[in-house]
Amino acid sequence: MPRYSTEAIILNAIDFLESDKIIHALTREQGLITAIAKGAHRSRKRFPGTLEPFCEVCLEVHKGRGSDLQRIESAVLINANLSIREDLALLGYSAVLLEMVKENLGPYDPVPATYECLRNSLAVLDAGRQWFPLWSFAMVNLLRLLGYGIELESFASRRDHPDNPSPGGLSAEACMFLEKGSRMGREVLCRVNVSAQGKREITLFLLRMCTRVSVRPLKTVAFLAKLLDLDMNQCYMG
């Protein structure tokens, strides 16, 4: 299979030499790939603003023999998910989703459920709506697909009995959100109000879960911690 077409989500793009880019992408058929796009900075015909993080694209890829580095011949935009870039906080939160996939999936190992989870999550994260509840359960679902499921039912006892200790030391509000929100559809979930303190608790809890899965610290977690003025020590499991 020297050449193939595939739908993909761009996870990372690194400038290489004067005009090329090294691309990390999650593809539907091939899983996680690393590829070079030669002339990416010069050719607007082959790469019309498509090789940027968060973009969902259709790639034409050449797979050479004896090399893990493939070559992207062209890219057609499916969805730029531009709204994610309109809010710095949303950008920071969404970047965690991309890096979780990049750092924790093996190369060339297709996982269609993970692709669909990331694709659908990015498509609904919109700066013009209440996106935090949607991001939270995108994280929950992604963690589950990466092998670390969260027993959401365990939060019910804390919700019903506030004096009981909760997983992660979460408040009754945060526990109620995590337990009840898992049964809500996206259109209902994006109308759920979460207090500033609740968001902070849930964010820290989910970032800690990331450290259970990831072999090395995520750069996006450090960026988000700085952006939200969080204590970095609180973002990692002890």
pLDDT digits (tens, 9 = 90+) for 69-79: 889 998 999 99
Phi-psi region of 52 (alpha: psi -120 to 50; beta: other; left: phi over 0): beta
Separation of alpha carbons 149 and 141, rounded Å: 8
Across-strand partners of 32? 26, 107
CATH number at residue 181: 1.20.1440
| Domains in the chain, number | 2
State whether 58 and 124 are in the same domain: no
Question: For the whole prediction, is pTM greater than 0.75?
Answer: yes
State whether 117 and 197 are in the same domain: yes
Cβ atoms of 22 and 36 within 8 Å: the answer is yes
State whether 61 and 153 are in the same domain: no
Average pLDDT of 201-218? 85
Within 183-232, residue ranges assigned H as helices are: 186-189, 196-213, 219-228
CATH number at residue 65: 2.40.50.140
pLDDT in tens, 25-54: 999 988 999 999 998 877 666 787 789 999
State whether 131 and 58 are in the same domain: no
Say how many C-beta atoms besides its own lie within 10 A of residue 89's C-beta.
Answer: 15
pLDDT at 159: 53
State whether 89 and 74 are in the same domain: no
State whether 41 and 131 are in the same domain: no
State whether 132 and 63 are in the same domain: no
State whether 92 and 203 are in the same domain: yes
State whether 57 and 18 are in the same domain: yes
Say how many C-beta atoms besides its own lie within 10 A of residue 21's C-beta.
Answer: 22
Host domain of residue 21: 3-80
> CA separation (Å) from 167 to 134, 141, 144, 178?
21, 18, 17, 11
Of 25, 57, 80, the last residue of a domain is: 80
pLDDT in tens, 106-159: 888 889 999 999 999 999 999 888 999 999 999 999 999 988 877 777 776 655
Two tokens, residue 197: 């303190």
Give the whole-number percent of the chain exceeding pLDDT 90.
Answer: 48
DSSP result, 56-107: EEEEEEE--TT-S-EEEEEEEEEE--GGGGG-HHHHHHHHHHHHHHHHHSPB
Separation of alpha carbons 181 and 196, rounded Å: 17
Cα angle 79, 85, 88 (rounded to 5 degrees) comes to: 155
Least Cα distance to 136 among 167, 178, 171 occurs for: 178
Separation of alpha carbons 89 and 206, rounded Å: 16
Of 25, 58, 80, the last residue of a domain is: 80
